[in-house]
Structure 1
Amino acid sequence: MTGLLRLLCLVAALPAAAQDYDCLMDPAEEIELGSSATGLLLERLVDRGDTVKKGQLVARLKSEIERSTVELLETRAESSAVIDAQRRQLEMIERRYERVATLRERGVATEEQFDAVEAERIASQSLLFQAELNREIAVKELERARISLDQREIRSPVDGIVAEAVLSAGEYVGSDDHLVRIVRLDPLKIEAFLPVSLYGEVSLGDSATVRPVAPLDGAYEAKIVAIDRVFDAASSTFVVVLELPNETGQLPAGHRCRLALGPPDRG
């Protein structure tokens, strides 16, 4: 009996094992990448499993018309010939206006002559203003045409992995279609299901230990970023969401895991 009591005392003195809970490792984002423009797909530059960077060109639509429009408007917007010619003409008329105004003050030029040159001066000023306005409009049209051309190139909005390649060159890209599906794996989003008895004992920013199930192993620290305020009555659980840094992409998404509250034991 004495030996049994000693064993019970030793067991009671051992630290309690940390309780762990079911969790799931999900991508931070899952994007079905479409196009703001419609048309035939010229080429898709990535395939399933490829790593992509934010801003990387993923696909191109056919864009001969848009490119030709940009070139045409560049010629119009960059040309100053009409404005230069109109400006020189106005300078000539200004000099004539000043001479006639001087002659009128001396009584040599008539009022009708002065009115005629003034009307010519006003008309020339109007033509110069119109030429400058036309060039400004051409610059704005060029900006719009370049935007339209840029929309024919589809770029990745995030760093991630191509999880699915849907359309191929020659297929039509509609407004409701997506070309590829990209997942962002850094950070991973961890969803854990905790018993409602722990509600109020966890807070935003708390650390937890994530252990992927077999065939993966290891213990990783994650931080709580969201706590569900709606309980699941059937299972008496609530969900907490954590972020797990995954800069090297060593951990996959879509895998089950176990979660224990508190940081990993570094000893």
Structure 2
Amino acid sequence: MLESLLILLVSAPVENPPAKPIPVQSAVVSLIDDVSLAFGESGIVEKVYVSAGDQIRKGDQLAELNSTDAELEINRVHAELEMAKLKAHNDLNVQLSVKALGLANAELSRAVKANEEFENTVSASEIDRLTLSRDEAELRIEQAKHDLEYTRLQVRLKNVEFDIARRKRERRELKSPIDGVVVKVEHHRGEWAQPDQTFCRIIRTDRVRVEGFVNEADGDVEIGQRVMLSLLSSKTSEPQHFPGKVTFVDPEIDTVTGQYRISAEFENPGGILRAGQRPTLLIVE
């Protein structure tokens, strides 16, 4: 198979052919994306939308837990939020306090003016009482403004609580973070699921990674270099070839083997390359 791959490389038209392809030792195919998913909340599985073997897209809904209590919590917090908004837009207490201050100022002014025109028309104790009423009216304005500001902060708090309630509801739904294939579903409808229990496993098959080792004596490999993978077809017994690029080069060399690790990625239409396979791999550029 290595001879076939070398013949393919020699016959391929390239502008700057390498002097010598670099072989990669112990190459093995692995998955780039392999995710095990779990719900963010505990509960009874109410709906399951996928089964093993299903092809899915990123964002597809996989399953959901019973959300009756979560919906009730959202409705409760939403009602409290609307009540807080009504209070936050109600400044009647401020307006009433301002009017009360105006009245207290007017009464005090009349009393002071009366004493200016006719001495001792209004007693000193009455003047003190009117002054106190004026001061109390000023403080009631400050209190009303404080209460209104507190109510507006309550609106912000209820908005946060509403967002939390919705997030809890969302965590009762399971959606795929990647494009891929469902390879296992661990729970069925009616079963109890917890955040520490895997519900399903999804892998991506349209692009794979191949890792292997290069002898230091064979040369240096850099990220971005072209690689060619060869794998015997199980149907025709003929080698199939896949082009790819180096995505990682280990900066350390094993002192015992004199080798360093590299990784390359390959498009995998049809899922021909499978995790665990051991293909032939050459650095060709």
Scaled to the shorter chain, the TM-score interval is 0.7 to 0.9
| Aligned AA (1:69) | E
Aligned to 2:198: 178
Between stretches 51-60 and 143-152, larger displacement belongs to 51-60
The offset of 1:17, in angstroms, is: 9.8
8 A contact 2:80–2:158 mirrored in 1: yes
Aligned to 1:163: 183
CA distance in 1, matches of 2:181, 2:228: 25
| Aligned AA (1:243) | E
8 A contact 1:213–1:258 mirrored in 2: no
Give the alignment partner of residue 86 of structure 2, picking from 67, 81, 90: 81
Compared with structure 1, are the counterparts of its residues 40 and 221 closer, same or farther at alpha carbon in structure 2 (3 Å cutoff)?
same
CA distance in 1, matches of 2:253, 2:28: 19
> Is 1:211 the counterpart of 2:230 in the alignment?
yes
Deviations 1:121-155 (A, max 9, x none): 23322332232222222111111111111111111
8 A contact 2:253–2:259 mirrored in 1: no
CA distance in 1, matches of 2:224, 2:21: 19
| Aligned AA (1:251) | I
8 A contact 2:206–2:271 mirrored in 1: no
Give the alignment partner of residue 266 of structure 2, picking from 237, 244, 254: 244
> Which secondary structure does the structure 2 equivalent of 1:175 belong to?
coil
Aligned to 1:260: 282
Q: Please give the root-mean-square deviation of Cα atoms over the aligned residues, in Å.
A: 2.9
Aligned to 1:67: 71
Q: Percent identity?
A: 19
Aligned to 2:220: 201
Q: Which runs of 5 or more structure 1 residues have no equivalent in the other structure?
A: 1-13
TM-score, length basis structure 1: 0.79
CA distance in 2, matches of 1:114, 1:61: 61
CA distance in 2, matches of 1:151, 1:142: 14
Aligned to 1:47: 51
8 A contact 1:196–1:231 mirrored in 2: no
> Which secondary structure does the structure 2 equivalent of 1:256 belong to?
coil
> Is 1:136 the counterpart of 2:156 in the alignment?
yes
The offset of 1:256, in angstroms, is: 3.2
8 A contact 1:53–1:158 mirrored in 2: yes
The offset of 1:76, in angstroms, is: 1.7
8 A contact 1:213–1:256 mirrored in 2: no
8 A contact 2:226–2:283 mirrored in 1: yes
The offset of 1:48, in angstroms, is: 1.1
TM-score, length basis structure 2: 0.75
> Whose Rg is larger?
2
> Which secondary structure does the structure 2 equivalent of 1:219 belong to?
strand
> Which secondary structure does the structure 2 equivalent of 1:218 belong to?
strand
> Which secondary structure does the structure 1 equivalent of 2:197 belong to?
coil
Give the alignment partner of residue 122 of structure 1, picking from 132, 139, 142: 142
> Which secondary structure does the structure 2 equivalent of 1:65 belong to?
helix
The offset of 1:20, in angstroms, is: 5.6
8 A contact 2:28–2:279 mirrored in 1: yes
Compared with structure 1, are the counterparts of its residues 17 and 238 closer, same or farther at alpha carbon in structure 2 (3 Å cutoff)?
closer
The offset of 1:31, in angstroms, is: 0.9
| Aligned AA (1:208) | V
8 A contact 1:27–1:186 mirrored in 2: no
> Which secondary structure does the structure 1 equivalent of 2:234 belong to?
coil
The offset of 1:40, in angstroms, is: 2.1
Aligned to 2:123: none
